[in-house]
Each structure stands twice: as C-alpha cells, then as structure tokens.
Amino acid sequence: MRAARHRAQSVARRLIDCSRASTSTANVGSRRGRSVTLDSYIRSDIMPRKPVAWLGDSREAVKTFPQLARQRAGRQLARVQDGLEPDSWKPMPSIGLGVNEIRVREGGAFRVIYVAKFPEAVYVLHAFQKKARKTPSADVELARTRYRAMLNARKQR
C-alpha cells in the first residue's frame, strides 16, 4: 500500500513538473523501458482505446506477415486506436471516404487498409503484401467490397 502511494505521488510530482515545463513533449518517466510523455498519460486516462474490428481474413493475413512487419503493423494500429496517425500512411479515397493505408516496409512492402472515422471501432478492411509498385486492383476491389458491406451492416443496426 505504501509503495503504491509513493509511486502515485512520484508520478504526480513529475506530471506537475512537466506541466510547468513543456506540456506535450515532457518526459514523465518510463514504462517497460520506453519513454512516456505527458500526452500519453493524459490520453490513456481520458480516451480509452478503440477496439479493432477485423473484416474478412484481414487478421489472418496480418498473421502471415514476417514477425518484425507484424509488430510494426500492430504498433501503427495501436496508434490509430489511440486517435493518432500512423507513422507512414496514405489516404485511399478510391476505396471510400476515411479509408487509409498503413505502409510497413520491413523485409518487403506490407499494407493494412483500415477506416477509423467511426466512434465504435477501427475497422481493418484488408491486409496484404505488396509486390508491385501499384496496388493491385484485386486488393483495392476487395477492400472496397468490405467497406461497403461494413457500411450496410452499420446502417442496419
């Protein structure tokens, strides 16, 4: 009990010190060896993470990515769940409004197509390994079909 209270007081002191310094980039400690900023403390306390809804075989497709690419894609999806932008992304208006693509370059080019504009979840429409410069039309059409099906399912609720 005493250790928990001491830890809470220590974090509170660091938060106060950081708020006096720089509000968004102040380092308030570390979690599992990673630096933690004031924004991440505030965000995790106020905004819960959106759940991820995997459509079709998108989850299985991500599981086929190499380990490092899978980890990077997961971290970028976690940023999206927290309401942030991924590090490398581009909009995909040819699929639908609000649809984006996470780009992961790790031992190849891997893509995760998602939509996060709805309050209830982050919908992962499709995931695949990109082998050509242009995104294959079959992958774009599959993502477009899943996007439309998801919109229709939302309307029926």
What pLDDT, on the 0 to 100 scale, is given for residue 107?
Answer: 87
* Burial environment of residue 20 by CB neighbours within 10 A (0 to 12, 13 to 18, 19 or more): exposed
What pLDDT, on the 0 to 100 scale, is given for residue 157?
Answer: 84
Which H or E run contains 29?
strand 27-31
Buried b or exposed e, range 95-112, using 16+ CB within 10 angstroms: bbeebbbbbbeeeebbbb
CATH number of 52-156: 3.30.2310.20
- Cα gap 109→157, rounded to integer Å: 36
What pLDDT, on the 0 to 100 scale, is given for residue 48?
Answer: 85
Residue 150 vs residues 106, 111, 123, 143, 156: alpha-carbon distances, Å: 30, 20, 9, 10, 10
What pLDDT, on the 0 to 100 scale, is given for residue 113?
Answer: 98
Nearest to 118 by CA among 145, 92, 80: 80
Per-residue pLDDT of the chain (157 residues; tens, 9 = 90+): 555 555 555 655 565 555 554 444 455 555 555 555 655 555 556 678 999 999 999 999 999 999 999 999 999 999 999 999 999 999 999 999 999 999 999 989 999 999 999 999 999 999 999 999 999 999 999 999 999 999 999 999 8
